[in-house]
Homo-oligomer: A and B are copies of this chain.
Amino acid sequence: MDAKNVNRTSLKRLSNYKNVLYKLKALGFVKVFSDNLGDAIGVSAAQVRSDLSKFGITSGNKKGGYSIDELLDNVKETLGKDEIQKVIVVGCGKMGNAIMNYSGFPVEGMRIVAGFDTNPTMVSSNERIPIYCLDEMERIVSEEKVRVAIMTVPESAAAQVFDLVQRAGIKGVLNFAPLQLRSTETCLVNNINIALELESMFYMVKYSLTRPLS
């Protein structure tokens, strides 16, 4: 695999291919062409083949396309879906609770194991997920071997909580706080700023830039 070209964009496409493959499989399909996969997520067939090749997936059959089962296995293995991916939610307000109850996560392979809050008496509406006090984070993260956290805290708490999260040994953060956190040497941050997304949307609409977004 050509690691230098692997970036968030190509990874998200790979995840997307996986979703499409599951759907095709559910519909009873057995084979798929790069052309079909491209159509399904709105990219070119060349892009699909280039992506798969980049991740070292070359199970395609000239003329015959790809076996869905085989391709799915390869993609799942590449994305690490062979093992269960644990994640914690830090900040159990409305947004944190919404994510803890989010139905869009794939059933297999991804699991929210705990929530954390300054006020842990608030109970997850999803009773299966325990909520702890922030200062128990290091213990739980270590015990459960969690490496990824979702941060849904208010802006005012974000910087301080990010320190805590890093000290707990978390290696990757999906940050929903409206504050751009910077990746450090040991912890990777992916910022999702809803206000920013919305603002860019207003602009695009205002100037009728109805071309597809990247």
User: Which residues of A does B touch, CB under 8 Å?
Assistant: 3, 6-9, 11-12, 15-16, 19, 41-42, 78-80, 85, 87, 93-95, 97-99, 101-106, 110, 125, 147-148, 150, 154-155, 171-174, 177-178, 180, 182-190, 192-214
Contacts and interface: CB of A to CB of B under 8 A. Distances in A.
Nearest to A106: B195
A125 B93 CA distance: 13
Query: What is the interface of chain A mostly: helix, strand, loop, or mixed?
Result: mixed
B174 A188 contact: no
Given A172-B204, A210-B187, A180 B41 contact: yes
B180 A42 contact: yes
Given A105-B195, A174-B197, A97 B99 contact: no
A110 B190 contact: no
25 contacts: A7-B213, A7-B214, A8-B200, A8-B214, A12-B193, A15-B200, A16-B180, A87-B198, A94-B97, A94-B98, A97-B98, A99-B194, A103-B154, A103-B155, A104-B155, A104-B177, A104-B194, A105-B194, A105-B195, A110-B202, A148-B201, A182-B212, A188-B210, A188-B213, A190-B197
Q: With a 10 A CB-CB cut-off, give which of A41, A125, A190, A210 has the most chain B CB atoms.
A: A210
B197 A104 contact: no
With a 10 A CB-CB cut-off, give which of A97, A190, A194 has the most chain B CB atoms. A194
A185 B208 CA distance: 10
B204 A8 contact: yes
Nearest to A96: B98
Contacts of A195: 15, 102, 104-106, 110
